[in-house]
Amino acid sequence: MADLVPFSRAPRPARASRPRPSDPEPLWRHLVGDQLRRRRHDRDETLTETAENAGVSPQYLSEVERGLKEPSSEMIAAIAGALDTSLIELTSAVADELRQATAAPASAAVSVTRGTFALAA
């Protein structure tokens, strides 16, 4: 039998660091669901109570809150109304969360020019 002779490995040259793809942005439906659940809990309401006031089933509301359903704007408005909030308050809160979730670290800050935007009804 032959003897095995170990070879020493030469250190690998340092690779240029490839930019890693950043985590994907959170889905809108997840943020809307979180916001709806938070508002329902703030009011100490059960799924059944809020669903009844919104005219949806408790199962549907649960799926919306967990981000499993992509509700129509009419459904979001009905649920928001049942929680005594407006669509603009809800969407503003979700947009604020999205901004915070996707904010670049201070060391990688980039100058951004803001424009004027308007919502069309």
* 84 dihedral zone (left: phi>0; alpha: psi -120 to 50; beta): left
Residue 24 has a pLDDT of 79
Contact call for residues 64 and 36 (beta carbons, < 8 A): yes
Counting DSSP H helices and E strands in the chain, the numbers are 5, 0
3-state secondary structure of 95: helix
Q: What is the mean pLDDT of each run of 10 residues along the chain (121 residues)?
A: 68 53 81 97 97 97 96 96 96 92 56 46 48
Measured CA to CA, the distance from residue 71 to residue 68 in angstroms comes to 9
For residue 81, give both structure tokens.
């109304």
> What type of residue is 75?
M
Question: pLDDT tens digits for 68-84?
Answer: 999 999 999 999 999 99
- pLDDT number for residue 22: 66
The pLDDT of residue 104 is 54
What pLDDT sits at residue 1? Answer: 64
Q: The pTM is what?
A: 0.67
Which pLDDT belongs to residue 88?
A: 95
